Amino acid sequence: MKRRMNTTPEAAPQVSVARTSTGASVPTRADLRRWAAEALGRRGAGREISVLIVGPARSRALNRRYRGHDKPTNVLSFPAPPPGGALLGDLVICPQVLQREAREQRKPPRAHWMHLFVHGVLHLVGYDHEQPDQARRMERREIRILRRFGVPNPYRSVE
């Protein structure tokens, strides 16, 4: 039995997008809303996600400051502090890193964008991958969500 996708407007959270970096390809706000709605289910109704598109230098600085890793990263998630109200949190995405990873992993860029956006959204609602059991739970959820969009398991290597 195939599950219906959660793409009704009332289930989709609001997604605002700001850019400090230009030139890189970024999915439409409508796509981001659809992906977030599918990731969140009913939890997305009436909620908001803020997305900041940055270049590698800004991504590196934020990654160093908040995670202690001195390199640019694909996505950083900043859940809203409780009580968060409508705002679930902020995602900081570096398209240049995403695109490089997609090339290196021989994945379609749109599929990789979708995977890492969904990954970031799940972090906003408490999913994590610090412990093996948490990682398995988060990966299973990501795989299920992506399958609904016709995207294969992103954790299987491409031969």
Q: Identify which of 63, 53, 49, 32 has the alpha carbon closest to the alpha carbon of residue 125.
A: 49
Cα distance between the two ends of the chain: 30
- Render pLDDT for 76-120 as a digit per residue (tens, 0 to 9): 999 999 887 899 999 999 999 999 999 999 999 999 999 999 999
Q: Name the pLDDT band for 1 (thresholds 50, 70, 90).
A: very low
Whole-number pLDDT of residue 83: 82
Q: Name the pLDDT band for 24 (thresholds 50, 70, 90).
A: confident
Residue 120 and residue 118: Cα distance in Å, rounded? 5
CA-CA distances (angstroms) from residue 27 to 32, 58, 70?
7, 20, 27
CB 118 within 8 A of CB 142: yes
Whole-number pLDDT of residue 85: 87
pLDDT above 90 (res 2): no
Side by side, which strands form the sheet with 87-93?
Answer: 14-19, 48-53, 87-93, 75-79
Whole-number pLDDT of residue 96: 96
For 33, other C-beta atoms within 10 Å of its C-beta total 19
pLDDT above 70 (res 143): yes
Whole-number pLDDT of residue 49: 97
Q: Name the pLDDT band for 9 (thresholds 50, 70, 90).
A: low
- Render pLDDT for 36-75 as a digit per residue (tens, 0 to 9): 999 999 999 999 999 999 999 999 999 999 999 999 999 9
Q: Which domains does the chain have, with CATH numbers?
A: 14-148 (3.40.390.30)
Residue 125, token pair as written in the block: 């609602």
For 153, other C-beta atoms within 10 Å of its C-beta total 13
Q: What is the pTM of this model?
A: 0.91
